[in-house]
Chain A
Amino acid sequence: MNRLRTAPLAWVLFGVAFVYLVLPLIAMLWASLTTPRGFTLNAYIEVFRTPGFAEALLFSVRSGLITIVLSTALIVPTAYWVHLRLPHLRPMIEFFTLIPLVIPPILLTFGLIRFFNGTPLTNSSDGLYVLLLGGYIVISFPFFYRSIDAGLQAINLRVLTEAAQSLGAGWGTILWNVILPNLVVAILNGSFITFSIVLGEFTISSLLSQPAFSPYMLDLSYREADQATALSIISFAFTWLSIVFISIIGNRRAGLARQALTR
């Protein structure tokens, strides 16, 4: 059918929001590029060379990837199982995904420290790392679960599973060859959100004294303020571009999937 015209008011409201949301970013960009002596890209170059940067980044990237793997291994089979066998329990699981919202990271960390007090988990640095990963999974799994859940809804799980079973496939084959490929985009989306949460996470890392990226950034801001600002811009741009990239892939695959399922 025909496209409706854009209401003029829409442009106004968009403009207002645009100013509020973009101005601080522009300011941050400006701050990272200017010194008393004029424009320079110095901060962007130096930030990669500053000692401590590589270690902190590596630490968080590694943690992010481990978190993604653990989350996938935990959430995907669970979501699949609930969709297939226990659909009446979906509300209960959704309730669980709301709890991390109610227990903000700061309270969660104190709870973890208290609960595991005296166990090896709080006594050794490796133990603390395990707690950190646990914390990361807890704060990111709601988003991850929602992504997988939406993906499962979209692919009409029951039909695919039954079709595969009628053709003689076992559970492993079904999960690996049938379900997983169709969930790639949802998993990517979920992984992506998880990764950016882990990278940007400050509270748990700093309270557990772990050398993560965000505490490093805070420290950096005391020493080299414009580098810290440059770093923020880089991570924001990187995150946004990746989301756009994934959604483009997502739309293409979703289009193909929809065609296949409705033919």
Chain B
Amino acid sequence: MATTTTVQPLKRKRANDFAIPFSIDWVGLLPFLAFVMVFLILPAWSIVQRALTDGSGAVTLNNLLNLSNPTIAQAYRSTILVSILTSISGGVIGAGLAWAITVGNLPAWIRNAVLSFSGVAANFAGLPLVFAFVALLGRVGLLNQLLRPTGVAIDPQTFLYGFWGLVIVYTYFQIPLLVLIMVPALDGLRREWVEASQNLGATRLQYWRYVGVPILMPALLGALALLFANAFSTYVTASALLGAVGQTFAITIVVANQFRTDTFGDPGLGYALAFSMILVIAITVMIYTYSRNRAERWLRRTV
């Protein structure tokens, strides 16, 4: 309770101090805002701009309409499917792990090890990850070596260098990402709620059904949205894994190829692709922020 009484008065004090929204204090933000403008906002805007104009600068929707190209549509379908599947696979395994180290009460050293490992593994995407899975599932990889005596072999073409390869490899960094997002939410499940529910006659299952899962739901949905965006925008992993054939499976590779070598013979198309990607990701991130705000609203204590 001590924390709430110190935070609340501060908030109100500040609101009174600045009746005008823009004060001289904004000057302190200038360097940051300038940087973000120049290196992020404006470049992003130039993509949007070029997506909506043709070579001479006139506004047009043609670039966007050209996105209905079958190759592009195929890549989009595949990428979205991969993203959904890996959100679920990473979500399920990650949720299990997150639950185990919080509510499941695994020893503290395991929890710390998992959290620090997750911090590294979530960023592990890219070349090293591809090396690792090739070493595991490749034709002369570990699993095939181990399975040789049995005569069974894992075919890398199906499990590695194609659609399912993407799913399997992406899941690897989706798991720790979910853990990192959900552990704070799970920690927020106060033990008193469990005890209160028991006290009122509920079984463990009933607690989860009526209290635990509903409370976690916003955070979980937000996390899944983030996982989707994460898989959707992955480039290096897909490119390193699939090489040239990646065009069919990952929209990011299509974009990269278009920019570098103009595979479609239409400069504006690259920008349209980029713009469409930004839209998809932006929508998912909005879902994420909305969920997170919803979760915070519930868990705020007294007025």
What residues of chain A have their CB less than 8 Å away from a CB belonging to chain B? 3-7, 9-11, 13-14, 16-17, 20-21, 23-28, 30-31, 74-75, 77-78, 81-82, 85-89, 93, 96, 98-108, 110-112, 114-116, 134-135, 137-138, 158, 193, 196-197, 200, 202-203, 207, 214, 217-218, 221, 225, 228-229, 232, 235-236, 239-240, 243-244, 247
Interface segment, one of B69-77, B80-88, B111-119: B111-119
Contacts of B159 in A (CB 8 A): none
User: Given A17-B96, A115-B46, A137-B35, A28–B28 Cβ distance below 8 Å?
Assistant: no
Q: Nearest CB to that of A117 among chain B residues?
A: B46
Complex Cα gap A33–B154 (Å):
22
Instruction: Describe B's contact surface by its main secondary structure.
Output: helix
By the criterion CB–CB under 8 Å, are A104 and B116 in contact? no
- Please name 21 pairs of A and B residues whose Cβ atoms are closer than 8 Å in the assembled complex, sorted by A: A9-B104, A10-B104, A14-B101, A14-B104, A20-B171, A24-B129, A27-B135, A86-B26, A89-B29, A96-B40, A104-B235, A106-B252, A111-B47, A112-B39, A203-B236, A214-B126, A218-B240, A228-B131, A229-B131, A232-B127, A244-B116
Residues 269-295 (chain B) with a chain A CB within 8 angstroms: 270-271, 274, 277-278, 281-282, 285, 289
Judged by a CB distance under 8 angstroms, whether B105 is at the interface is yes
Among B38, B235, B277, which residue has the most Cβ atoms of chain A within 10 A? B235
**Chain B interface residue number, banded:** 35 or more
Question: Within the complex, what minimum Cβ distance (angstroms) separates A23 from chain B?
Answer: 6
By the criterion CB–CB under 8 Å, are B25 and A86 in contact? yes
By the criterion CB–CB under 8 Å, are A13 and B97 in contact? yes
By the criterion CB–CB under 8 Å, are B120 and A196 in contact? yes
By the criterion CB–CB under 8 Å, are A114 and B96 in contact? no
By the criterion CB–CB under 8 Å, are B32 and A88 in contact? no
What residues of chain B have their CB less than 8 Å away from a CB belonging to chain A? 10-11, 14-15, 18, 25-26, 28-29, 31-32, 35-36, 38-44, 46-47, 50, 93-94, 96-97, 99-101, 103-107, 110, 112, 114, 116-117, 119-121, 123-124, 126-129, 131-133, 135-136, 141-143, 171-172, 175-176, 229, 233-236, 240, 252, 255-256, 259-260, 270-271, 274, 277-278, 281-282, 285, 289
Contacts of A221 in B (CB 8 A): 127, 131
With beta carbons under 8 angstroms apart, the residue of B44, B129, B142, B240 that contacts A99 is B44
By the criterion CB–CB under 8 Å, are A101 and B285 in contact? yes
By the criterion CB–CB under 8 Å, are A202 and B236 in contact? yes
User: Given A240-B116, A247-B116, A10–B25 Cβ distance below 8 Å?
Assistant: no
Complex Cα gap A228–B265 (Å):
36
By the criterion CB–CB under 8 Å, are B229 and A13 in contact? no
Closest 7 CB pairs of A and B: A10-B104, A111-B43, A232-B128, A13-B96, A27-B136, A104-B233, A31-B135
User: Given A217-B127, A247-B112, A110–B259 Cβ distance below 8 Å?
Assistant: yes
By the criterion CB–CB under 8 Å, are B123 and A10 in contact? no
By the criterion CB–CB under 8 Å, are B255 and A24 in contact? no
By the criterion CB–CB under 8 Å, are A16 and B285 in contact? no
User: Given A13-B97, A98-B285, A115-B42, A202–B126 Cβ distance below 8 Å?
Assistant: yes
Contacts of B31 in A (CB 8 A): 74, 77-78
By the criterion CB–CB under 8 Å, are B107 and A6 in contact? yes
Complex Cα gap A74–B38 (Å):
14
With beta carbons under 8 angstroms apart, the residue of B93, B99, B131, B289 that contacts A20 is B93
By the criterion CB–CB under 8 Å, are A20 and B172 in contact? yes
